[in-house]
Amino acid sequence: MAMPLLANVVIDRPTHSLFHRLADASPEPLLIARIDADAHRIIYANPAFCRLSGCSASQILGREWQSLVESGFGVCGTDGQLSATRQEARVALRTEDVHGNERCLEMSRWVLRDESGAATHLVILMRDVSLEQSQRDGLERRAYHDALTDLANRHLFHDRFLQARAHARRHGGSFILALIDLDDFKSINDCFGHHGGDQVLKCFGARLAASIRAENTVARLGGDEFVLLLDEATEGEPMHRLIARIRELIGRPMILDGQRINVSCSVGISRYPVDGDDLDRLLRIADTKLYRVKECRHLCHGEAQTARVR
């Protein structure tokens, strides 16, 4: 049996009405702007865009599309300028919806042309990629931050070291690595279990982060070993005084399982460029100094116990 020809099919509504209904029903925000010599003003905004912006269609129609987007959305990444006149452009946007929730959007924009090839309209379509962005941010954070303390991990610390070294080379500056670990941390794990030990490490990391300026770095290298990367110029106080302040802050009592415990730490420092140019070398020097401090404290503690026995 022969299929009927398309020419014999009767369409009961104009085709443009179907497209209009499709655009109205789209869950993705959509704008259409007419391209004029002086401005590209919006002639259509679908209900999804109105819901996102919190504006009615009457408040949107007639506005210049670029100023509307720039005033209502933060442009956080693009493969072409927002005002580009090329055929297509894609831009990453961040905004808040009417409920105050942050949304991440991917905006695609392309040009419509007439039969002669002249540009007549812009179509601006937005796609909500908040979930995808959240997942990417989570993966990136897990790649560069310690899961327990949320401090920088070894990978991020290495990147910060390279940045600090490049800055110091350009400006003739210097910085310090301060390697820090808890004294007798094993006894904490023995007494309170690993959960208690984790609580102490989280508190320890938070106190370290609070002890330095935001432009400097604190990282957890593993176990109870932490490291600070400090620009001597930004800290604004002599390094021996800063280290003493950090030890005093760490030494304040902690409450663990309802018990008041005292925690102390040992610190070993190395300086760039005096002690070397390489991260591994600077960490080895700081580590050597840290264990000398520990040995000295154990020796002093043993002598004090002997004196009390006598």
Higher pLDDT, 208 or 53: 208
pLDDT-based confidence at 98, cuts 50/70/90?
low
Q: Which residues pair with 267 in a beta bridge?
A: 180
Tokens of 79: 């493969």
3-state SS class at 114: coil
By mean pLDDT, which of 13-22, 167-176, 284-293 is the weakest?
Answer: 13-22
Domains in the chain, start-ordered, CATH in brackets? 14-135 (3.30.450.20), 145-309 (3.30.70.270)
Give me the DSSP letters along 68-101. Answer: HHHHHSEEEEESS-TT--SSEEEEEEEEE-TTS-
86 pLDDT above the threshold of 70: no
Rounded mean pLDDT, 206-211: 90
More confident of the two residues 29 and 301: 29
* 118-138 core/surface letters (b: 16 or more CB in 10 A; e: else): eeebbbbbbebbeeebeeeee
Higher-confidence residue of 282 and 53: namely 282
**156 or 78: which leads in pLDDT:** 156
Q: What residues have CB less than 8 Å from 257, skipping those under 6 apart?
A: 192, 196
Q: Which of 63-72, 118-127, 198-207 has the highest mean pLDDT?
A: 198-207
Cβ atoms 216, 239 nearer than 8 A: no
Sign of the dihedral through C-alpha 81, 87, 92, 96 = positive
- The arithmetic mean of pLDDT across residues 273-298, rounded, is 90
**Contact present, 164 and 156 (Cβ < 8 Å):** no
What average pLDDT does this structure show over 25-49?
Answer: 88
What percent of the chain is modeled with pLDDT above 90?
30
Mean pLDDT of 188-212: 90
What phi, psi does 48 have (nearest 5°)? -65, -40
pTM: 0.58
Q: What average pLDDT does the chain have?
A: 80
